Chains A and B, each alone.
Chain A
Amino acid sequence: QKEVEQNSGPLSVPEGAIASLNCTYSDRGSQSFFWYRQYSGKSPELIMFIYSNGDKEDGRFTAQLNKASQYVSLLIRDSQPSDSATYLCAVNRGTEAGTALIFGKGTTLSVSS
């Protein structure tokens, strides 16, 4: 059974701090990795995707991928109260076009002002 594991949290950080969200996956053959943000009662919003080992930066967000350790993380710099949400890590089940995502259960982030 292919799995994606995340700490459920809540992860609490003060405004302006760096929030670090972590995710591990079981399928060594996974190729594509995604971070979604989901506000309560809303659908997930894609915020980052990463396909290669290393870091990928987009604004205040940095995704880090280490395929050897089967580990992907998301760093949020200068955290804002509006970043408070559940963050879902997702992994492509396969490498073919249009393959389904396997989601972790999400980490709840709370940023206090």
Chain B
Amino acid sequence: GAVVSQHPSRVICKSGTSVKIECRSLDFQATTMFWYRQFPKQSLMLMATSNEGSKATYEQGVEKDKFLINHASLTLSTLTVTSAHPEDSSFYICSASGLSGSGGYEQYFGPGTRLTVT
């Protein structure tokens, strides 16, 4: 499968600060990247869909001014959590999708970033 990296893998920040998470597709061009959040013992919740060079599409209930997404190239998308609060503490995972050899658009996930806001 394709390789997607995320950085950092773990971050602890103080309430009120901003945190930037990077997602890179290392061996294919990702036409679309997705950002998910997962709370303990719950399934993944889609936050936003990001296409290269265009504005992200946010899911209902996700504040676009709080979770800033930039997809500047076919291999890099960033998520910035602004003015973080303790309730933003979660496991943030990106996935990347591009046309595969099978003719489909499988999604491959990055390893995730565990954010703790104190």
The answer to the question of A72 belonging to the interface, with a C-beta cut-off of 8 Å to chain B, is no
Chain B residue with the shortest CB-CB distance to A99:
B105
> Do A98 and B31 contact each other (CB < 8 Å), given the known contacts A34-B107, A42-B111, A51-B104?
yes
Contact B112 A42 (CB under 8 A): yes
The answer to the question of B93 belonging to the interface, with a C-beta cut-off of 8 Å to chain A, is yes
On B, residues with C-beta under 8 Å from A are 1, 31-32, 34, 42-44, 46, 49, 51, 91, 93, 95, 97-99, 102, 104-112
> Do A97 and B34 contact each other (CB < 8 Å), given the known contacts A43-B110, A43-B112, A106-B43?
no
The answer to the question of A16 belonging to the interface, with a C-beta cut-off of 8 Å to chain B, is no
Contact B109 A97 (CB under 8 A): no
The answer to the question of A103 belonging to the interface, with a C-beta cut-off of 8 Å to chain B, is yes
Secondary structure dominating the interface of A = loop
Chain B residue with the shortest CB-CB distance to A93:
B46
Contact B97 A98 (CB under 8 A): yes
> Do A43 and B104 contact each other (CB < 8 Å), given the known contacts A88-B43, A100-B49, A103-B44?
no
Cα of A29 to Cα of B78 in the assembled complex, Å: 32
B residues in contact with A90, CB < 8 Å: 107
> Do A101 and B111 contact each other (CB < 8 Å), given the known contacts A44-B44, A88-B43, A106-B43?
no
Across the A-B interface, give the 4 residue pairs with the lowest CB-CB distance, nearest first: A98-B32, A43-B112, A43-B109, A105-B43
Contact B93 A43 (CB under 8 A): yes
Query: Most B CB atoms within 10 A — which of A36, A88, A97?
Result: A97
